[in-house]
Amino acid sequence: MEFSHVSVLLDECIDGLKIKEDGIYVDGTLGGGGHSLEIVKRLGEKGRLIAIDRDADALMAAGERLHAHASKITYVHDDFKNCCTVLDELGIDEVDGILLDLGVSSYQLDNAERGFSYMKDAPLDMRMDQSQFLTAFNVVNEFTVSQLTKILYEYGEEKLAPRIAERIATVRDKETISTTLQLAKLVEGCYPAKTRWKYGHPAKRTFQAIRICVNNELTGLGDTVTNMARRLKKGGRMAVITFHSLEDRIVKTAFKDMALSCTCPPDFPVCVCGKVKEVELVNKKPIVASQEELNRNSRAESAKLRIVERV
C-alpha cells in the first residue's frame, strides 16, 4: 500500500516555523513527509533537515518522495523522544526549528494490516515501530482487568472502562481476541443502545487508549517537548500538533512552564526562585483547522497547533 498522509495544518506550521534558508530543522515525526517536503523546499544548499520516524515504512516512503532533496536530509529511524540523543550523535548543539505532528498517519489508519482502525478487520497490532515486541494483541489478551481499566480511563478517558475491561476478560476466557473488529464489536456491546452512537464510534476511545499504551505515547512527552525546545537557537521555533486532549494538555503545560519568568508568590519582594523565561508563546490559544481544510480532510477536526519561540 502506498504511504500517503494528508498533512494537517500544513501552511500554519510552515508559516509558524519562519524557515531560514541556511537553517537546521528537525521533523521528529516524518510520517508521509508532507511537512518535511515544504520545509526542505525552503532550504538552501547550506540548510539541513533531520527527519526522524519510528516507522520504517514512513522513512522508506519519504525517502522516495523527498529524493530530489536528499543532499539536505538526514534520515533517522528512532522515536522523536530520543531527539536530543540523535542531535548529540550528529554533533548538532542547536537547531533553528522543530516540528512534531503527534497524530497517527493516514497510512497507518488506512492500512488494515497495521491494526489501528476499528472500521477494518485486521490483526490486533497498532505498533508504530513494527520491530518492537508489545502489540495490541498482548494488551487485550494478557493485561489484567485492573490494568485494562486504568489504561482505558487514563488514555481513552473512557467512562465505561470497568465494564469494557470486564467484558474483555470474560470473552478472552472463552476465545482469543485477535482482530480489530472482534474488539470493536465487543466494546460496542458494552454501550446502551440509546447512547451507543451518540459521540461517534463507541470503540474510538478504547482503540485510542490501547494505541497509546502500545506505543508509550504519553510517557515522558512533557520532558521531551521541554528538552527539545531547549535545543533551539535564540529566535528558533518549535511547532507541535496534537490530536487529543491528553497530548494537548501535556504540550500546553510544558510550553507554559517554559514561558514563565518567575514562579515566586506575588507577595515576595524579590525573586528567589531563579526561574528564567525560556520561550515566548507565539500563539496563546491553539491554532485549529479552517473550515476549508476540514472540508478537504475531516481528520484535521481535532488537530491543535501550538508554537513557541526561543528567547
* Domain range annotation of the chain: 10-102+219-310, 131-215
User: Distance between CA atoms of 71 and 82, rounded to whole angstroms?
Assistant: 23
User: Distance between CA atoms of 136 and 183, rounded to whole angstroms?
Assistant: 10
Nearest CA to 115 out of 58, 46, 182 is that of 182
Grid coordinates representing 183 are 474488539
Domain 10-102+219-310: CATH superfamily, name plus number: Vaccinia Virus protein VP39 (3.40.50.150)
User: Distance between CA atoms of 81 and 206, rounded to whole angstroms?
Assistant: 24
**Cα Rg of the chain, angstroms:** 21
Nearest CA to 139 out of 168, 111, 116, 163 is that of 168
Helix axes 204-215, 145-156, angle to 10 degrees: 100
Residue 112: the pLDDT is 82
Dihedral in degrees, nearest 10, Cα atoms 12, 253, 224, 132:
-90
pTM: 0.92
User: Distance between CA atoms of 121 and 124, rounded to whole angstroms?
Assistant: 9
Pick the CATH number of 131-215 from 1.10.150.170, 3.20.20.140, 2.160.10.10, 3.30.9.10: 1.10.150.170
User: Distance between CA atoms of 48 and 72, rounded to whole angstroms?
Assistant: 5
Strand partners of residue 309: 237, 280
Residue 271: the pLDDT is 84
**Proportion of the chain in helix, strand, coil states, percent, rounded to 5:** 45, 15, 40
Q: ∠235-236-240 over CA atoms, to 5°?
A: 130
Residue 4: the pLDDT is 53
pLDDT in tens, the chain (311 residues): 455 557 899 999 999 999 999 999 999 999 889 999 999 999 999 999 999 999 998 899 899 999 999 999 999 999 999 999 999 999 999 999 999 999 787 778 778 889 999 999 999 999 999 999 999 999 999 999 999 999 999 999 999 999 999 999 999 999 999 999 999 999 999 999 998 888 889 999 999 999 999 999 999 999 999 999 999 999 999 999 999 999 999 999 999 999 998 888 888 888 888 888 999 999 999 999 999 999 998 889 999 999 999 99
Contacts of 211 (CB under 8 A, 6+ apart): 104, 116, 126, 136, 217
Dihedral over Cα of 261, 266, 270, 273: its sign: negative
User: Distance between CA atoms of 251 and 245, rounded to whole angstroms?
Assistant: 10
Residue 3: the pLDDT is 53
Grid coordinates representing 110 are 488506512
**Residue showing cell 526562585:** 273
Contacts of 253 (CB under 8 A, 6+ apart): 222
User: Distance between CA atoms of 62 and 124, rounded to whole angstroms?
Assistant: 26
